[in-house]
Amino acid sequence: MEKRRIVLLGATGYTGQRVLRELLARGEKPTLAGRSRTRMLTLADRYEAELPVAEVDVTSAADLARLVEPGDVVVSTVGPFMRLGMATVTAAARAGAHYFDSTGEGTFARRVLFELDAVAAVRGATLVPAFGYDYVPGNLAGALALTRAGERARHVETGYFITRSGHGAELLYRSTLRDAFTLTTGGTRQTLVGAAAEDGFAYRRPRPWAAARMVDERAGKRVRTFHYSGVKRAAMTVPGTEHLGLPEVFPQLESVEVGLGWLGRWTRPVQIAATIQVPLLRSAKVRAALARWSERLPGSQREPDPDGRSLVIAVARDGHGRPLATTALNGPDPYEMTGSLLAWGAARAAQPDAVLKPGAHGPVAAFGLETLRLGAAEAGVHEVDGASARRR
């Protein structure tokens, strides 16, 4: 059997170029798909690669239906995904193609898993949204912590943090508000601002015998504190695919929480300010103005500092909230990690003997825990020991 075709949408963008570079390093020859044939050919020439290109409008169901074929592996880095992404993933599900994307929008991932699971399962497609820094390492860390905790585990919390290399012990570094600006792209900050105006969700099962459910709640409703390597780190709750994917693999779970801890000591003040602004965000005019303002944030064309790194912490707890196991993963900056993870996932899915679970899933259910752990390691994401960092 031949390898499956990989179709990359958004290759000319910041994240897309990283995915393309990683795919080429793996010996893959993806088909580049996007609006500008000239820009895609220029990009291929830059990497001295002869690659097929296809002009498509990513919002056109007709264009995408002509592009995506059964058995393809589709990778999309074109966002914002709630506005631009549904046509692509829907085309993949209907065609029976595997699908991965770089979204950090939990609401988009929720829509994919809820609306397209049945279609994908019937067609033999596997859809895995948010297959990058958002939210593969949290799913992986959470699954490892829950596996070690065993059947007593009822709750899991994951926290996403950024660190820097070359500033002493990396695991002891606590990010600042400045880091949240200098280690991210303008597009990321635009997504975060937009997410503040969107409805979020959380996973809850209020009693062991009750039916589990997704609970609507705004992003930043709570602040959780993660104690690791002798350092306390605060994180605001956000919607992630951990809410959707981990209960599928660990059905005994009663709650799943995901936290974003990029703001350091500013986490709680920002969370309080966001809470105060909630009534305003219910206005369509305010939300539209916020979206326009987010596109004009300073530094929108500036690339992130090169010394950024990632730290993701997961804590599994028993029914009384007592910690049973903690797992931490360390890796490259969020953009490099996303490019490497997407390239690994696509290359793995393109293999003729690849076995993925049909339907729309989180990354652990789609690949299996051990396969995902090995794939993450290929992308530079490794488990770390906080105790050893304190002894240095």
Over 50: is that where the pLDDT of 391 sits? no
DSSP for 265-301, written as a single string: GGHHHHHHHHHHHHHHHTSHHHHHHHHHHHTT-TTTT
Dist. CA 388–CA 392, nearest whole Å: 7
Name the DSSP class of 30.
P
Alpha-helical regions (H) of 163-254: 177-182, 186-196, 242-249
- Tokens for 304? 């992130």
Q: How far is CA 140 from CA 163, 260, 274, 353, in A?
A: 19, 16, 29, 23
**Residues 125, 146: one domain?**
no
Over 80: is that where the pLDDT of 231 sits? yes
Report the predicted TM-score, pTM, of the whole model to 2 decimal places. 0.92
Q: How far is CA 327 from CA 64, 112, 146, 385, in A?
A: 40, 28, 9, 8
- For residue 230, being part of any structural domain is answered with yes
Kindly give the interhelix angle for 369-378 and 136-149, rounded to the nearest 10 degrees. 130
Residue 313 is part of a domain; what is its CATH number?
Answer: 3.30.360.10
Over 80: is that where the pLDDT of 131 sits? yes
Residue 52 is part of a domain; what is its CATH number?
Answer: 3.40.50.720
**Residues 171, 254: one domain?**
yes
Q: pLDDT tens-digit profile of 364-389? A: 999 999 999 999 999 999 999 865 54
The answer to whether 170 and 75 have CB atoms below 8 angstroms apart is no
Dist. CA 138–CA 105, nearest whole Å: 15
Q: What pLDDT score was predicted for residue 204?
A: 83
Q: How far is CA 384 from CA 1, 4, 199, 311, 377, in A?
A: 39, 35, 34, 9, 12
**Residues 313, 207: one domain?**
yes
Structural domain boundaries, residue 83: 6-133+337-365
- For residue 261, being part of any structural domain is answered with yes
Where do we find the tokens 């660190």? 163
**Residues 329, 354: one domain?**
no
Q: Average pLDDT of 271-288?
A: 63
Q: pLDDT tens-digit profile of 287-322? A: 566 556 555 555 556 688 889 999 999 999 999 999
Q: pLDDT tens-digit profile of 237-269? A: 999 999 999 999 999 999 999 999 988 888 887
Name the DSSP class of 5.
P
**Residues 173, 260: one domain?**
yes
Q: What pLDDT score was predicted for residue 183?
A: 80
Dist. CA 182–CA 262, nearest whole Å: 11
**Residues 222, 354: one domain?**
no
Q: What pLDDT score was predicted for residue 392?
A: 45
- For the beta carbon of residue 227, count every other beta carbon within 10 angstroms: 13
**Residues 291, 345: one domain?**
no
The answer to whether 235 and 267 have CB atoms below 8 angstroms apart is yes
**Residues 123, 202: one domain?**
no
- For residue 372, being part of any structural domain is answered with no
Dist. CA 313–CA 160, nearest whole Å: 7
- For residue 121, being part of any structural domain is answered with yes
- For residue 374, being part of any structural domain is answered with no
Q: How far is CA 318 from CA 204, 275, 351, in A?
A: 15, 29, 39
Dist. CA 77–CA 6, nearest whole Å: 13
Angle in degrees, CA 249, 365, 156, rounded to 5: 45
Dist. CA 21–CA 44, nearest whole Å: 10
**Residues 322, 238: one domain?**
yes
Q: pLDDT tens-digit profile of 26-35? A: 999 999 999 9
**Residues 87, 212: one domain?**
no
Task: Domain count for the chain, please give it.
Answer: 2
Q: What is the gyration radius of the CA atoms in the chain, in angstroms?
A: 20
**Residues 168, 70: one domain?**
no
Cis peptide before 133 (omega within 30 of 0): no
Dist. CA 101–CA 95, nearest whole Å: 17
- For residue 1, being part of any structural domain is answered with no
- For residue 161, being part of any structural domain is answered with yes
The answer to whether 264 and 145 have CB atoms below 8 angstroms apart is no
Q: How far is CA 163 from CA 308, 370, 379, in A?
A: 6, 26, 17
* pLDDT confidence tier of residue 190, bands split at 50, 70 and 90: low
Q: pLDDT tens-digit profile of 43-84? A: 999 998 899 999 999 999 999 999 999 999 999 999 889 999
Over 60: is that where the pLDDT of 40 sits? yes
Over 80: is that where the pLDDT of 327 sits? yes
Q: Average pLDDT of 11-37?
A: 96
Share of the chain above pLDDT 90, in %: 69
Alpha-helical regions (H) of the chain: 14-25, 37-46, 61-67, 81-84, 86-95, 106-115, 117-123, 136-149, 177-182, 186-196, 242-249, 267-281, 284-294, 334-350, 363-367, 369-378, 386-391
**Residues 285, 311: one domain?**
yes
Q: pLDDT tens-digit profile of 78-111? A: 988 999 999 999 999 999 999 999 999 999 999 9
